[in-house]
Structure 1
Amino acid sequence: MKLRVKVNKQVSRVELEGPEPTLTQLSTRVREAVLPSAGFSANTEFSLSLNGKEPLVDTGQTLSLCGVVSGDMISVILSCTDSSSTSSSSSSHQMHNISGVQCNTEQSPSGSGAGESGASSSYDSRESADDPETEEIKMEEGEEAVGSFIPHPMLCSEAEEGKVPHSLETLYQTAQCNSASDCLVLAVHVLLQETGFLPQGCDVRAGEMPSDWRATGGLYKLQYSHPHCENCLAQVVAVTMGQTLVVNATLKTSSAVENSRKLVLKPDVYVTKQWADENAGVAYRDLQKLSRVFKDYLAYPLIATAREALDLPALFGLATLPPELLLRIMRLLDVSSLLSLSTVCRHLHSVTQDVSLWKHLLHRDFRVNCQAEHRDTDWKELYKSRFKQRKALSRHRMRCHAFRPPVPIGPIPLPLFPPGIIGGEHDRRLAVPHNILPRPRYDPIGPFSDQEPPVGLPFGLRLPRPGGSRAPDPRRGFI
């Protein structure tokens, strides 16, 4: 086992022999080899630690039991007296080296710059070789030059623009895609593997597609098995239809029960026009959206329906929550959403039949005093009857209320002429001393056109004509 031991910012490498080295062997090696190289005596009291704060208690246990693996950094914690004496000795040793360098520079002739440069270079070389702080500073500067660590996406849900998971990139390099639909089928294959499906076939290798996955005419066939659905075989058939790719997944749980899901995808949405390029990061886009749509609408519902058909408990979703949390969620829903949720599976249907849930909904929607009701009341049936009464009442109100024309907004426009004016000679005689308004409307055409209508004659009633049904004279027109 190879370890790194740090003593006062000085790092040394230690190699221990044997399959299971103990903490006692490491302490002995540090006392014999590491401490003398750092300027300490072999009798110095110390303790070992992984984080530099909490010491490891030596009870003869192995390093693996202490959580130490090959390549770890072991810190040596010294006593206060030893560390202070060592720091003073190291400072005096450093001053001695500096004074020695100054003496060498003073002894060198002032006219020759070679001696000064040689002394300074020798001092720099010794300082860089003996000072561990210089090495750490150089290592930190090297790390800053490299830049911050940017992780590579491991899943399609983590992929960003220009980056794809390693599994998809490997398939893309070996599959030799001929169209955008081929590239999309590769992504579907990776998404199925991410959800736990295992490809089945006689010659399926890791990082490669099955040999018969692609047929002529834009047809793709793949077979999988899932560890959470025992004795089940999933068959995925994808067909290219115009600008879309139709994915049909069928999971056979027995000879008579089959669960199928269908999903329509557009290759142009997830595959760029540079799909023929050798770089997989350029060929794909919006892999996060593809992962969300494919898993939510095809992969996970297929597993859930198969486990329900096999009478197995659910693995994910609302069905895995305890009834306490389910009731807290369901009491926030409206009735239509609650009824839709009850049709998902048997477990959710049984939870939606809870008595306290319908009692809460009845009080929330209809303000019914539940304490006044009988103890054996069927709250769901009572809610149903109240809901039907409210709906019938709303329909009755809609039938009773007739249609009312909209009220005009703004001032009502006035007519061009005052009411009762129909033209003719009679209508021109408006200058009446005692009445400024026009007289009642009547037909002035006839032999008695110059006479006034008799008093008490209703407005709009025409006077009898002597001619009977004789037509009026068309030559007497209106003005």
Structure 2
Amino acid sequence: MNPTLIEESSSKRIPHNLEALVKSLDGSPDVSPTNTNDLIAVLLYVLMMETGYSPINVGGTSISSSDHGFSIHKLNRFCNMPAIWKNIRQNNYEMTFTLGRFTQHPCRLLIISIDDEIIVNLLISNLNEERNGYSLGIQPSKYVVNPTSNCIPTKFRNLRDLSLRFKNSLSHPARSVILTKEGILNASLLGVPDEVKIKIFKYLKVSDLLKLSLVCSHLYTVTEEQGLWRYFLLRDFRCEDVEDLVNQPGINDIIIWKEEYKKRYTSVHIRRHKWHFRSDI
């Protein structure tokens, strides 16, 4: 099964949207897929979306006006880089994002190449605060080791380290500042980034998850996340045909994992004559 997040990547598997973005570079007239810095820029682009940001200036793709959380659907919608994201002459990069409905605070991601290092700046507009930006230094060779490989996952390594460093130093602090500025409390489950909520929810029983989904509309939305129900399907129905189903190419585009979980739950418990399936799943 392909991982959902960059930090879950291995030398054999990477998230679907990251793979699609790297492949899209092949068809770009102004970007070489063998360029290490290009691949770093693609990684950071995906990490911003994993933290709940949506890119702007991506042709033909609509952006939700209210969603500032993690969503596999959002990740998979953006399988192309923004229209203007690279300064070819200077080998620098610039991309702009918004966090949900808070479009008054666009965030500029600036990636500047200096010798063998990359300096990453995330600048937040219209904050009127003492600090409106965050910076991080990255050594590209630590994360992109084989840019010419025909096998995309082997181009990368140490992606968990890159993900944690970037999110802890840039995207999460910026997100927290914006939400606090707009009166969204962060010292609660609702303030925890959605990808962290999903990791927590994976430890729950499905019955407890359903109760949690009744708390508010935001938690309901998070508990409906496709990747979460795909995980529960694999966890609760350990059999070969489930693994084969989950690993089918393109299956995420045609199946609703919660409905698949419901069907299998119903089938198993009718056969056992123990429980009736709960109608609220």
Q: Distance in 1 between matches of 2:79 and 2:187?
A: 28
- C-alpha contact (below 8 Å) 1:253/1:309 kept by paired residues: no
| Cα distance change, pair 245–315 in 1 and its aligned pair in 2 (3 A) | farther
How many angstroms does 1:230 deviate by? 4.9
Corresponding position of 1:237: 110
* Residues 246-278 of structure 1 deviation map (CA, whole Å, 9 limit, x = unaligned): 110011135x45621101111000001x20223
- C-alpha contact (below 8 Å) 1:261/1:302 kept by paired residues: yes
Corresponding position of 2:21: 171
Corresponding position of 1:199: 55
Larger radius of gyration: 1
How many angstroms does 1:288 deviate by? 1.1
User: Aligned partner of 1:261: which letter?
Assistant: Y
Corresponding position of 2:217: none
1:26-45 alignment, distance < 5 Å = none
User: Aligned partner of 2:6: which letter?
Assistant: C
How many angstroms does 1:213 deviate by? 0.6
- C-alpha contact (below 8 Å) 1:253/1:306 kept by paired residues: no
Is 1:283 aligned with 2:144?
no
Structure 1: 5+ residue stretches without partners: 1-150, 321-479
SS at match of 1:162: coil
Q: Distance in 2 between matches of 1:220 and 1:161?
A: 26
Corresponding position of 1:248: 121
| Cα distance change, pair 233–181 in 1 and its aligned pair in 2 (3 A) | same
User: Aligned partner of 2:110: which letter?
Assistant: V
How many angstroms does 1:292 deviate by? 1.1
- C-alpha contact (below 8 Å) 1:163/1:281 kept by paired residues: yes
User: Aligned partner of 1:268: which letter?
Assistant: S
Q: Distance in 1 between matches of 2:138 and 2:188?
A: 25
Corresponding position of 2:174: 302
How many angstroms does 1:232 deviate by? 1.6
| Cα distance change, pair 233–243 in 1 and its aligned pair in 2 (3 A) | same
How many angstroms does 1:193 deviate by? 0.7
Ranked by relative contact order (alpha carbons within 8 Å, sequence separation 6 or more), the top structure is: 2
TM norm structure 1: 0.33
Identity among equivalent positions (%) equals: 20
SS at match of 2:109: strand
Is 1:269 aligned with 2:142?
yes
Corresponding position of 1:222: 95
Corresponding position of 1:407: none
Is 1:313 aligned with 2:185?
yes
User: Aligned partner of 1:210: which letter?
Assistant: P
User: Aligned partner of 1:199: which letter?
Assistant: P
User: Aligned partner of 1:188: which letter?
Assistant: L
- C-alpha contact (below 8 Å) 1:222/1:235 kept by paired residues: yes
- C-alpha contact (below 8 Å) 2:136/2:170 kept by paired residues: yes
Q: Distance in 2 between matches of 1:262 and 1:313?
A: 24
Q: Distance in 2 between matches of 1:195 and 1:218?
A: 25
1:398-437 alignment, distance < 5 Å = none
* Residues 300-335 of structure 1 deviation map (CA, whole Å, 9 limit, x = unaligned): 011112223334311668x87xxxxxxxxxxxxxxx
- C-alpha contact (below 8 Å) 1:156/1:291 kept by paired residues: yes
How many angstroms does 1:171 deviate by? 0.4
1:7-46 alignment, distance < 5 Å = none
| Cα distance change, pair 247–231 in 1 and its aligned pair in 2 (3 A) | same
How many angstroms does 1:160 deviate by? 1.6
How many angstroms does 1:211 deviate by? 2.1
Corresponding position of 2:212: none
* Residues 353-390 of structure 1 deviation map (CA, whole Å, 9 limit, x = unaligned): xxxxxxxxxxxxxxxxxxxxxxxxxxxxxxxxxxxxxx
For the aligned residues, what is the CA RMSD?
Answer: 2.3
Q: Distance in 1 between matches of 2:60 and 2:42?
A: 14
Q: Distance in 2 between matches of 1:282 and 1:241?
A: 25
| Cα distance change, pair 307–212 in 1 and its aligned pair in 2 (3 A) | same
User: Aligned partner of 1:169: which letter?
Assistant: E
- C-alpha contact (below 8 Å) 1:259/1:306 kept by paired residues: no
- C-alpha contact (below 8 Å) 1:204/1:210 kept by paired residues: no
- C-alpha contact (below 8 Å) 1:173/1:278 kept by paired residues: no
Q: Distance in 2 between matches of 1:230 and 1:315?
A: 23
Q: Distance in 2 between matches of 1:208 and 1:315?
A: 35
Q: Distance in 1 between matches of 2:116 and 2:105?
A: 32
SS at match of 1:233: strand
Is 1:154 aligned with 2:4?
yes
Q: Distance in 1 between matches of 2:39 and 2:50?
A: 17
SS at match of 1:189: helix
TM norm structure 2: 0.55
How many angstroms does 1:236 deviate by? 0.6
- C-alpha contact (below 8 Å) 1:201/1:210 kept by paired residues: yes
Corresponding position of 1:180: 36
| Cα distance change, pair 301–275 in 1 and its aligned pair in 2 (3 A) | same
The number of equivalent residue pairs is 168
How many angstroms does 1:289 deviate by? 1.2
Structure 2: 5+ residue stretches without partners: 27-32, 62-77, 193-281
